[in-house]
Amino acid sequence: SYVVTQPPSVSVAPGKTASITCGGNNIGRKSVHWYQQKPGQAPVVVIYHDSDRPSGIPERFSGSNSGNTATLTISSVGAGDEADYYCQVWDSSSDEYVFGTGTKVTVI
Amino acid sequence: QVQLVQSGAEVKKPGSSVKVSCKASGGIFTNYGFSWVRQAPGEGLEWMGVIIPIFGTTNYPQKFRGRFTITADKSTSTAYMELSSLRSEDTAVYYCARVGDYGASHNFDHWGPGTLVTVSS
């Protein structure tokens, strides 16, 4: 089945930019979605279809996808952005939804 | 606004079954698919399956076929998941999540709050 990998953790200083990667074989040919999960809460979609933002999600959140890597970028990071972030794709060959391993973002 | 309201926490014995409900409001139930995603303590998200109520179709990853069933009641806009032959490794928070475009969007635009299922003797 399709495998998607993420770095376990990313640390970023307040006000700086965090980049979270999501790697998979030719992932650029798939649609990638990103979810933010804060402790004790359900996930929330922050980017869908590679780079679209749902209403209510700040413009600081952006996404891109090309080749073997998709990237979620969070600019002007603040303490409220500390969370786990998961990428997700749908693998058409197996007709299965696949989540990445998750990345913990820490604001230092 | 869209709400997915899930049933309450459960404590089950190994070998038993559990059934969790997810009642949807704020949209036309049959316009969407409904998936179940679980998260074991300290672990990541794991997709368990999806139902498309308007078609009555389901899809499960190989790992859960035979032991996991998703159903939907269109009259009450409620999706259900049932997991049988429970073992300690099934202890997790179980989320229902909505999939847009009759299930064709393949992303989860709204999530329920989660239901903790604890399997313990």
Distances in Å between the alpha carbon of A28 and those of A64, A68, B84? 9, 6, 38
Q: What is the pLDDT of residues B68-92, one digit of tens each?
A: 999 999 999 999 999 999 999 999 9
- Please determine, for residue B108, whether its predicted confidence score (pLDDT) is greater than 80: yes
- Mean pLDDT for the stretch of residues B9-34: 96
Residue of B nearest to A6 (CA): B44
Q: Which chain B residues are within 8 Å of A88, Cβ to Cβ?
A: 45, 107-108
Could you tell me if A45 lies within 8 Å of chain B, comparing CB atoms? yes
- Please determine, for residue B103, whether its predicted confidence score (pLDDT) is greater than 80: no
Residue of B nearest to A55 (CA): B109
B61, B109, B112 member nearest A45 (Cβ):
B109
Report the C-alpha gap between B26 and B66 in whole angstroms: 32
Phi, psi of B109 (to 5 degrees): -90, -20
Q: Which chain A residues are within 8 Å of B111, Cβ to Cβ?
A: 42-44
Q: Which chain B residues are within 8 Å of A102, Cβ to Cβ?
A: 44-45
